[in-house]
Structure 1
Amino acid sequence: MTFDVEGDPLRDLFGRYARADWPLFVVGVVTSVLGRLVSLAPPLVLGVAIDATFNDDVPYEIPFVPADLLPATQSEEVLYSVGIVVAALVGSVLLTWTNGAALSLFSNRVQHYIRVDTYDAMQRLDMAFFDDKQTGQVLAILNDDVRNLRMFLGSTVSSALQLVATVVGIAGLLFYLNWQLALVTLVAVPALAVFTLWFMRTIRPRYRALRASVGELNTRLENNLDGMEVIKTAHTERHETDRIRETSWQYYLRTWAVAKLEYLYQPTMDLLAGLAFAATFLLGGLWLVGGAPGPFTGDLRVGEFVTFLFMTQRFVDPLSGVGRIVTSYEDARASGERIVGLVSRPVVVQDREDSVVRDHVEGHVEYDDVTFSYLPDRPVVRNLSFTVEAGETVAFVGPTGAGKSTAAKLLLRLYDVDSGSVRVDGVDVRDLSLETLRSNVGYVSQDVFLFDGTVAENVRYGSFDATDEAVEAAARLAEAHAFVENLPDGYDTRVGERGVKLSGGQRQRLAIARAMLQDPAILVLDEATSAVDTETELLIQRGLARLTADRTTLVIAHRLSTVKEADQLLVVDDGRVVERGTHERLLDEDGLYATLWNVQSGASASEEFIAEVVARADRGT
């Protein structure tokens, strides 16, 4: 999805999403204009009726109505006038209802399309985007900004069209009745236009800042809600309240910056429009009492003057509402810019035009001189090379922050390498389609995420056609079936947002069950047993042994006892492989792995090792 980020975002969004429901928009526009024009009939007919009834010399004439359709007597003229007024009122109500229904349907459908497409574009963005972008800002775009567009399309567009129809219709009638007095009424229009242009240019950057502030406040609130347990256990409620107060105060300041300009604009518009009405009333009154004043010529009848007053008031009211229309437009424009900015972000990790599509892979994995960094010139993985034959298990071990998890994520193309290549069955993962790659690689993270749904739905996630029997079998393999059976509703128990109703070990076992159900050719286990006790870990290891028996497996582990049976151990330090081999061979080499093993198995850490750990921490590696 591409947009012209330098163009008008509302025009681009409207042009893309209005096509499917264009008839609804046309109906809304036509009925909006007709409804406003029809509402002008009563004051016009009233003026004609007054002049014809109280002045025998004035004929009963209604614009656009043929003479042979008009009544012949004064009593019939009165009845005819009342009938037109009633018909106009009823017609105006029906047209207004049709207009509201059509534009409401149109705007809500467009809102749906934009929200779904924006979400779809957002989830295709690189993981680097989510590393940098705060969730609250994204939610503000998907919710607040999209809703602003709906409100603009549903009400503001209708109001703007009605204003144009009213101004053009009234101006035409006023010139038809008395072009000289019409000039007096319309003299305020240029001043109103100039003032409105100034207002739009001044308020636009303020609305941009306001929309950004909404995202910042949402982010702060969401972070605090997610971290409520930490806040309570750390007893930092007052500190967080102060931070919310500061963020909310910034939102208030930006809201006030917009509001005070609106409060200046609206009364000024009312004043200019009111002066136009006062000038019309003054000049018309003098004209009736003493004849044409000054340079004006001709006669002014009472009925014409009454029509002028009614029309001028109806002319003044929509002009005074220009501020609301402009404000809504600028707010929607700022929202449109944020939406277009999100969906127009370039995506690095995506399918190439000639990407390779395969139903199944054998599982041969090769890292060839791979280097990767999150920040420029600060590589996390350095010149990493190793080969895993199909069906083998390779374990990454080493200090925290050594780059083990990052190296595994490169296999899934959550990020693309800076240099070198990662290959599956001899094909660079950048040349494989993402569907081929990710449907054949299962991933169990140490930070387990469960959706707010049932146990069965979370195990079945990604394998949506799996039967209940298959779900239970996967849970048994992951040693999860026993605790699931003891839940209130078994596999139909809701786990809560992020699985909050379950323990860390229970969540981790469900994640492993999910991977087992997917039955991938390649499996990545990133600290998959980090949140379980020793007894549960032994049970899960039994299940993992079944799962990894005939598939390629990459395991990241801190507990060396869980991976000592791996076909190959890679000891990673500072992004590099510093040792490799089997458990027995690495113990014999008496290097970093042997030291880590001795520490974890209960042996005392040597002073040299402790010194090295401290030095590494001081270096930030």
Structure 2
Amino acid sequence: MGATEDSVFDQYRDRVDKPLVRLFRAYGVPEWPYFAAGMVANVVARMASLLPPLVLGVAIDSVFTGDAPFDLPLVPAGWLPATDAAQFEFSALVIGASFVVTAVFTYFYGVSANLFAHRVMHEVRTDSFEKMQSLDMTFFDDKQTGEVMSVLNNDASNLEVFLDDALQNSARLVVMVAGITAILVYENWQLAVVTLGAIPLMVVLTGWFMKRAEPRYERQRAAVGNLNTRLENSLSGVELVKTSAAEDHETERVRSASYRFFRDTMDVLRLSYVYRPGMELLAGISFAVTFAVGGFWLLYGAPGPLTGTLSPGAFVTFIFLTQRFVTPLAEVSNIVDQYENAKASSARVFGLMDVPARVTDAPDATELTDVEGRVEYDDVTFGYESDEDVIHDVSFEAESGDTVALVGPTGAGKSTLCKLLMRMYDVNSGAVSVDGHDVREVTLDSLREHVGYVSQDTFLFDGTIAENVKYGQFDASRDAVVEAAKAADAHEFVHELFDGYDTEVGERGVKLSGGQRQRIAIARAILQDPEVLVFDEATSDVDTETELRIQESLDDLAADRTAVVIAHRLSTVQNADQILVVEDGRIAERGTHDDLLEKNGRYADLWNVQAGLIEQ
């Protein structure tokens, strides 16, 4: 009932090596043109944004004070104007053009970077979902729906933020720091050393933060999954909660999961509140020291060990660029924050992808074709992962067209036996065969195409009745849907609905009664038209009269098909060709209805209890 304290993907997540590197190798490389275009546009935009302070400094020293020649780095002198007026006009034109270039290439960079990020995350989401779909039922027996949703939703979104924002800011930071450093060194290498003196301290602070942040982010992501699981369970079971007057109990459980998330989030934030202000303080100190040393240099000459002169234009350039320095350096905290979050999330995503799918097609699996419907269980033993065996040495045969009934107490293993036929699980020993073919040696798709299954836990998707009836047979005509519904005794109630077969059933079919949902599920199996039918107490939620009508339809349907029927009401299977009494995962008795009554054993006891001949 309760959510586990630790992530159910811990054992797989911990094995993921360099998750973000793996992300780029697996998903970034195929999208490299968008990434490359974005990086080129980013470099052009950021370099263009550095031109105005440089040109302004040169113009001050050359045009306004006349203390230095009009000279720009990497630009031949012959390309530059000679008069003050022309130099002023040229400077104004370059400054204006640089803003235009910055805006245009920032647009191209944003589009390219977002295309890269969202295309990658589209592939990650769909691949993660496809992987989840391929996993066998053992995985879903142990894992929590909210935890899986957290991986597909929250963790994938974290990666999207990283690929979109963090990469964009990282690229901008690299270009800005490299460009500003080059210009500052070009203008005055001594003052540049003073300005850049805070960077080693920032590197040390960043290393300290990353070392301590990683385990905190891992705990936070696990707490998100735990909270999602609790919310999903509580909302899915809201009817039970209300009928049990357990609202306070569920609220307390959600409060506990929410507090764990709050506690782990605050653990991350407390560390961030040391790191982020620390980075901003170091960046601010760098600006203040640059202003103080440069201003002193202009007023009184080179201070201390510094030598030479500092022009007013160079000082203005330093002030503008150092201010530009502060913002990207201060954003390092956000980048690291998003990096650590994405690293934890990518480990969980690849942890899901690395979960082994145990029930898969064998390399030499063949298609199951021309099915007659003969089913055989040969000395089958099965146990769930890390549990004791729940099925012990079960053997029986059902010839084509036979009906085999499985009866016995709840928890005896009847449903598990049926799921082994569908290869929801693989047997530990022995074999389950269809027409002499071990189900492990044929493809899953072909096996499940020829075996129809109606569970006692009827599930309907949010959509119309028609869509649910033809689920799996998506190209079926409306006439075929109606005929299947008639065979399942569903047409009458569907016809009376306002929108008929176009009636929306709601999430999990909540707008229909349990009996109506079961009849829709039976119609779905009928439309599949399989050679083998499995009914796991398929009429458990209908009244006696409806059950009799459905049973007549099922009898007609199973007349030339093999049927494996799990029944609680023994009256529905008394005409079965073979009845198996299952207890504790073993076949305790077998025979026809009359044979078993004559034996006066366990089946006879169950029959007499249900017939009211003896008290239970």
The two structures have a TM-score, normalised by structure 1, of: 0.96
1:57-103 CA deviation, whole Å, 9 max, x = no partner?
Answer: 41111112222221222122111111111101111111111111111
Match of residue 449 from structure 2: 439
Deviates more, 1:350-359 or 1:477-486: 350-359
The equivalent position to 1:48 in structure 2, one of 54, 58, 77, is 58
Match of residue 217 from structure 2: 207
The equivalent position to 1:577 in structure 2, one of 582, 587, 604, is 587
Check whether the contact 1:397–1:558 (CA below 8 A) recurs between aligned residues.
yes
Q: Quick one: distance in 2 between partners of 1:295 and 1:209?
A: 50
Question: Does the residue aligned with 2:384 lie in a helix, a strand or coil?
Answer: strand
1:320-361 CA deviation, whole Å, 9 max, x = no partner?
Answer: 110000000111111100000001111110011001213332
Q: Quick one: distance in 2 between partners of 1:441 and 1:276?
A: 73
Query: Aligned partner of 2:293: which letter?
Result: L
Query: Aligned partner of 1:554: which letter?
Result: V
Q: Quick one: distance in 1 between partners of 2:442 and 2:494?
A: 38
Q: Quick one: distance in 2 between partners of 1:378 and 1:496?
A: 39
Deviates more, 1:32-41 or 1:72-81: 72-81
Does 1:480 pair with 2:481? no
Where in structure 2 are the equivalents of 1:558-577 lying within 5 Å? 558-577=568-587
Query: Aligned partner of 1:568: which letter?
Result: Q
Match of residue 414 from structure 2: 404
Q: Quick one: distance in 1 between partners of 2:194 and 2:594?
A: 100
Q: Quick one: distance in 2 between partners of 1:468 and 1:500?
A: 23
Question: Does the residue aligned with 1:420 lie in a helix, a strand or coil?
Answer: strand
Match of residue 323 from structure 1: 333
Does 1:381 pair with 2:360? no
Query: Aligned partner of 1:577: which letter?
Result: I
Runs of 4 or more, structure 1, over 4 Å off, are 2-5
Q: Quick one: distance in 2 between partners of 1:30 and 1:11?
A: 21
The equivalent position to 1:297 in structure 2, one of 307, 325, 330, is 307
Does 1:464 pair with 2:513? no
Question: Does the residue aligned with 1:156 lie in a helix, a strand or coil?
Answer: helix
Q: Quick one: distance in 2 between partners of 1:494 and 1:20?
A: 41
Deviates more, 1:564-573 or 1:367-376: 367-376
Q: Quick one: distance in 1 between partners of 2:237 and 2:596?
A: 41
Query: Aligned partner of 2:113: which letter?
Result: L
Match of residue 31 from structure 2: 21
Match of residue 189 from structure 1: 199
Does 1:492 pair with 2:502? yes
Match of residue 4 from structure 2: none
Deviation at 1:306, TM superposition (A): 0.7
Deviation at 1:304, TM superposition (A): 0.4
Match of residue 613 from structure 1: none
The equivalent position to 2:511 in structure 1, one of 501, 510, 534, is 501
Query: Aligned partner of 2:423: which letter?
Result: R
Question: Does the residue aligned with 1:394 lie in a helix, a strand or coil?
Answer: strand
Check whether the contact 2:276–2:333 (CA below 8 A) recurs between aligned residues.
yes
Deviation at 1:21, TM superposition (A): 2.5
Query: Aligned partner of 1:456: which letter?
Result: A
Q: Quick one: distance in 2 between partners of 1:154 and 1:164?
A: 16
Deviation at 1:4, TM superposition (A): 11
| Residues 376 and 337 of structure 1: CA distance in aligned 2, closer, same or farther (over 3 Å) | closer
Question: Does the residue aligned with 1:348 lie in a helix, a strand or coil?
Answer: coil
Question: Does the residue aligned with 2:504 lie in a helix, a strand or coil?
Answer: coil
Q: Quick one: distance in 1 between partners of 2:394 and 2:448?
A: 22
1:443-489 CA deviation, whole Å, 9 max, x = no partner?
Answer: 00000000001000000001111111111000000000000001110
Does 1:593 pair with 2:614? no
Deviation at 1:55, TM superposition (A): 2.8
Match of residue 231 from structure 1: 241
Check whether the contact 1:4–1:12 (CA below 8 A) recurs between aligned residues.
no
Does 1:309 pair with 2:309? no
Match of residue 543 from structure 1: 553
Match of residue 179 from structure 1: 189
Query: Aligned partner of 1:81: which letter?
Result: S
1:405-462 CA deviation, whole Å, 9 max, x = no partner?
Answer: 1111101110111111111111211111111211111000000000001000000001
Deviation at 1:375, TM superposition (A): 4.8
Question: Does the residue aligned with 1:72 lie in a helix, a strand or coil?
Answer: coil
Match of residue 153 from structure 1: 163
The equivalent position to 1:252 in structure 2, one of 262, 276, 279, is 262
The equivalent position to 1:116 in structure 2, one of 117, 122, 126, is 126
Match of residue 87 from structure 2: 77
Match of residue 463 from structure 2: 453
Q: Quick one: distance in 2 between partners of 1:533 and 1:318?
A: 70
Deviation at 1:182, TM superposition (A): 0.7
Segments of structure 2 that go 5 or more residues without pairing to the other structure are 1-11
Query: Aligned partner of 2:373: which letter?
Result: G
Check whether the contact 2:138–2:385 (CA below 8 A) recurs between aligned residues.
no
Question: Does the residue aligned with 2:430 lie in a helix, a strand or coil?
Answer: strand
Question: Does the residue aligned with 1:59 lie in a helix, a strand or coil?
Answer: coil
Q: Quick one: distance in 1 between partners of 2:428 and 2:17?
A: 33
Check whether the contact 1:149–1:335 (CA below 8 A) recurs between aligned residues.
yes
Deviation at 1:317, TM superposition (A): 1.5
Where in structure 2 are the equivalents of 1:340-355 lying within 5 Å? 340-355=350-365
Q: Quick one: distance in 1 between partners of 2:13 and 2:408?
A: 46
Q: Quick one: distance in 1 between partners of 2:299 and 2:83?
A: 29
Question: Does the residue aligned with 1:430 lie in a helix, a strand or coil?
Answer: helix
Where in structure 2 are the equivalents of 1:525-540 lying within 5 Å? 525-540=535-550
Q: Quick one: distance in 2 between partners of 1:64 and 1:150?
A: 39
The equivalent position to 1:134 in structure 2, one of 120, 138, 144, is 144
Query: Aligned partner of 1:515: which letter?
Result: A
Deviation at 1:400, TM superposition (A): 1.0
Check whether the contact 2:34–2:116 (CA below 8 A) recurs between aligned residues.
yes
Q: Quick one: distance in 1 between partners of 2:344 and 2:195?
A: 35
Check whether the contact 1:360–1:436 (CA below 8 A) recurs between aligned residues.
no
Deviation at 1:396, TM superposition (A): 0.3
Deviation at 1:30, TM superposition (A): 1.1
Match of residue 345 from structure 2: 335
Q: Quick one: distance in 2 between partners of 1:359 and 1:175?
A: 77
Q: Quick one: distance in 2 between partners of 1:360 and 1:178?
A: 85
Q: Quick one: distance in 2 between partners of 1:558 and 1:220?
A: 33
Query: Aligned partner of 1:592: which letter?
Result: R
Q: Quick one: distance in 2 between partners of 1:177 and 1:312?
A: 13
Query: Aligned partner of 2:337: which letter?
Result: T
Does 1:59 pair with 2:37? no
Deviation at 1:53, TM superposition (A): 2.2
Question: Does the residue aligned with 2:441 lie in a helix, a strand or coil?
Answer: coil
Match of residue 37 from structure 1: 47
The equivalent position to 1:221 in structure 2, one of 231, 239, 242, is 231
The equivalent position to 2:563 in structure 1, one of 539, 542, 553, is 553
Does 1:414 pair with 2:414? no
1:586-606 CA deviation, whole Å, 9 max, x = no partner?
Answer: 00000000000000011123x
Deviates more, 1:243-252 or 1:354-363: 354-363
Deviation at 1:222, TM superposition (A): 1.2
Q: Quick one: distance in 1 between partners of 2:277 and 2:181?
A: 23
Segments of structure 1 that go 5 or more residues without pairing to the other structure are 611-621
| Residues 360 and 206 of structure 1: CA distance in aligned 2, closer, same or farther (over 3 Å) | farther
Deviates more, 1:24-33 or 1:530-539: 24-33
Match of residue 533 from structure 2: 523
